[in-house]
């Protein structure tokens, strides 16, 4: 009687395997680059000082006590703690998801970028009470997009990759 041969190869199920520490390393690189750029700008500029780079881009030192696009920036200070807590909780959940789905490359890239950006901004909130922003895109000095930083860029790129990954999954 023939017996079914079991596959003993090293293929691992989606819910385990893979080196999830690599994804934490990517987040750490985002945090490091974010903090280095913020420290450099903070030491090189006075608050609200602007350096024109191109006709549509400036470097400037700005502080944001709120969230994206200065959401809740004019509130009394409670938002600092709320956004810090959101960043910490999101990082804990993302760490769990990275560990569980370490072999899903696009998904983990997205989460790693989001977590690195979130922690980069949490560091600012804890250390300074605000987030340091310095990238200022504008249209003919008439309209300025809200200033942002590398952490914000990583979060946006991560969100775009997350959407792309979900669209890929839906197509399958």
In angstroms, the CA 87 to CA 108 distance is: 17
Query: Active-site residue among 34, 124, 133, 165?
Result: 133
- Reduce the DSSP state of residue 94 to 3 states and report it: helix
In this structure, the strands spanning 50-52 and 57-64 are antiparallel
Query: Active-site residue among 34, 124, 136, 152?
Result: 152
Helix 20-44 vs helix 78-100: crossing angle, to nearest 10: 150
Please confirm, yes or no, whether 152 is among the known catalytic residues. yes
Beta-strand ranges (E) seen in 55-167 are 57-64, 131-139, 143-144
**Kind and range of the H or E run holding 51:** strand 50-52
Strand order, beta sheet including 50-52: 50-52, 57-64, 131-139, 143-144
Sign of the C-alpha dihedral computed for residues 34, 37, 43 and 44 taken in this order: negative
Please confirm, yes or no, whether 124 is among the known catalytic residues. no
Q: Would you please indicate which residues are annotated as catalytic (active-site) residues?
A: 133, 152
């Amino acid at each position: 009687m023939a017996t079914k041969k079991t596959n003993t190869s090293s293929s691992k199920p989606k819910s385990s395997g893979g080196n999830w520490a690599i994804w934490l390393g990517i987040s750490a690189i985002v945090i490091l680059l974010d903090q280095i750029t913020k420290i450099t700008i903070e030491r090189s500029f006075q608050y609200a000082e602007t350096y024109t780079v191109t006709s549509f881009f400036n470097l400037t030192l700005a502080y944001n006590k709120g969230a994206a696009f200065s959401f809740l920036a004019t509130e009394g200070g409670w938002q600092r703690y709320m956004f810090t807590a959101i960043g910490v909780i999101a990082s804990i959940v993302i760490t769990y998801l990275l560990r569980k789905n370490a072999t899903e490359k696009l998904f983990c890239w997205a989460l790693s970028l989001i977590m690195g950006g979130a922690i980069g901004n949490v560091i600012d909130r804890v250390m300074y009470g605000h987030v340091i922003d310095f990238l200022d895109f504008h249209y003919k000095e008439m309209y300025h997009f809200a200033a942002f930083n590398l952490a914000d860029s990583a979060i946006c790129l991560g969100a775009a990759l997350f959407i792309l990954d979900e669209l890929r999954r839906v197509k399958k």
